[in-house]
A = this chain, B = another copy of it.
Amino acid sequence: MSKPSIPKGTRDFGAEEMRRRNYIFETIRSVFALYGFEQIETPAMEQLTTLTGKYGVEGDRLLFKILNSGDYKAGIDAETFTEESPAALAARLCDRGLRYDLTVPFARYVVMHRNELTFPFKRYQMQPVWRADRPQKGRYREFYQCDADVIGTDSLMPEVDFVYMIDEVFRRLDLRTTLLLNNRKILAGIAEVIKAPDRLAQLTICMDKLDKTSVEAVLADLVESGFDPDSLEPVRKVLTLEGSNRDKVTTLRQLLADSEIGLKGLEELEYVLDHVDTSDLMTDLTFSPSLARGLDYYTGAILEVKSLDAPMGSISGGGRYDNLTGIFGLDGVSGVGISFGAERIYDIMLSLGKFETAMAPEERIIIVNFGEEELQKLLPIARQLRQAGLPTEVYPSADKMKKQLSYANSRGCRYVIIAGSQELSDGKVSIKDMTLGTQQECPLEEIVSRLRESLSVGH
C-alpha cells in the first residue's frame, strides 16, 4: 500500500491552525454583521456555462472541471476525441466546474433570486474557491475568500462603510495598514486629458506599477507602449503628486478641469473623504491616483489595503462595478464590494506572533483517570463542569500519571484535576494549574465554582 497523500496545492488544517484561521474568519464575519451584512452560501459546483468566459482565457484554463457522471463518453466518437483540443473536449466531458471566486456565483445568485431579494442587498460570503494554478509559497489550489458586497444602490455610503469596516477588521486583528483609495473615473479622466481615452487599459497597467518601480520607469514604459511622449506631462504630475489627500484633490481638479468623467471621479472620491472621519481610523487612508487594481470590471471607487508590517502586497481590496449581473442578463444593477485575503492575513499574523497576543488561550479541564472506583465519583464532577459551560474531558483509561499529564500538556489543558481514592473519600481533589505549575486542594463541592472563577478571571 502506498503512503497516502493529498493533491498538490491543497492543505490539511490541524487543531491549532483551525483555531487561528477561525479567529480571523470570526473577526471578519463579526465586522460584516456589525454593518448589517447577511451571510449566504452558494454550491461548490457551478454549471461550467456560468463560469466559462468570466475570468479571461487564463482563468478558463485554471477552472477545475468535474467529469460528468454515468456514461460521459457516449456520443463522443474516436475522431472527436483525437482531433479536438483539450479545452473543446472538456466542454463535452464536463458540465460542471468548481467555483473560481465568490463574485461570479454572487452575480448568478442575485440574478436567479432577484424576485426574493430586497435591494439594496448586502451579503457576505466566506467559502473556499479552487484554481488550478501552479502552487507556490502562499498560493494554493484551494483557499478561502471573504467577500462583502452591496448591490442595487448608486449611493456612495457603502464605500464609506467599507473604509470603516476595513479599518475595524485590522484594528481587531491588531495589524497596521495603509488603505489606498482611488476612483476608476479619475483614471479615465487622465486618459482623456492626454487624448488617449481609448487606451485607458494600457495606461492604468503602466501606472499601477508605480509602487514597484520609479516615475521615470513608468513614463518610459508608457512611451514604449506607444503613448506620445509630449502628452505625458499630466501623467508625470499625477505620479509625483504629494501632500495631503485634499492637496492631491485640488491639484487634480485643475489637471482634470476639461474631463467630465475625471471631475465626476474626483467628486465621488471627495464624497468618501467627506464622510470618513480620519481621526476615527487606525488605518492610514491615502488617496493614490495611480492605483488601478485589475481594471476589468471596476467603474468607480477602488480600494486596496497594504500591510505596514510585512511586504505582502495587498491583503484586502475592492471597488465599485456597475454591471456585474449584466453577464447573466440583468442590466443596470450597480454594486460595490470588498474582499479580505485571509490566507495572507494568516501568514502576516503568524510571522508577527500576533495570534499569541490576540487570542484568548484555550482553557480546557482534564480529569486524571486512576481507575474504575475513582471514575464513578469523578464522572458526575465532569458533568457538572460541562453543565457550567467549562470544556472538560476525562482521560479515557488509567494510564500512568506521566502519560496523562503529558497528554494534558500537549492538548493545552490549563487545569488538571487529580484525585486518588484516598482524596476522594476525604471529599476533595487536587487542581493543578499547568500554566503556573501550582497545585491546590479543593473540596468536591467547590470544584465547579472555583474553576469557573479561575477561568473567567483568566479572560
Contacts and interface: CB of A to CB of B under 8 A. Distances in A.
The list of the 3 closest CB pairs from A to B, nearest first, reads A36-B393, A10-B43, A155-B396
A279 to B, nearest CB: 11
Interface string A40-51: 111111110110
Contacts of A89: 73
A34 B96 CA distance: 40
Nearest to A128: B44
A64 B168 CA distance: 41
Contact of A6 (B10, B46, B142): B46
Interface of A: 1-7, 10-15, 18-19, 22, 33-36, 38-47, 49-50, 61-62, 64-67, 69-73, 76-79, 81-82, 86, 89-90, 93-96, 98, 108-109, 111-113, 116, 118, 120, 122-123, 128, 130, 132, 141-142, 150, 153-155, 157-158, 160-161, 164, 168, 275, 277, 280, 327-329, 364, 366, 369, 375-376, 379-380, 383, 386, 389-394, 396-397, 407, 410-411
Q: How many copies does the complex hold?
A: 2
Given A81-B78, A410-B118, A109 B67 contact: no
Contacts of A391: 33-36
Contact of A13 (B41, B94, B108, B161): B41
A392 B34 CA distance: 6
Contacts of A3: 111-112, 329
Contact of A275 (B90, B328, B379): B379
Contacts of A2: 49
Given A66-B64, A118-B410, A7 B96 contact: yes
A22 B126 CA distance: 13
A278 B216 CA distance: 80
Contacts of A366: 36
B43 A411 contact: no
A47 to B, nearest CB: 6
Given A35-B386, A73-B81, A47 B5 contact: yes
Contact of A67 (B41, B82, B90, B407): B90
Contact of A328 (B4, B128, B155, B160): B4
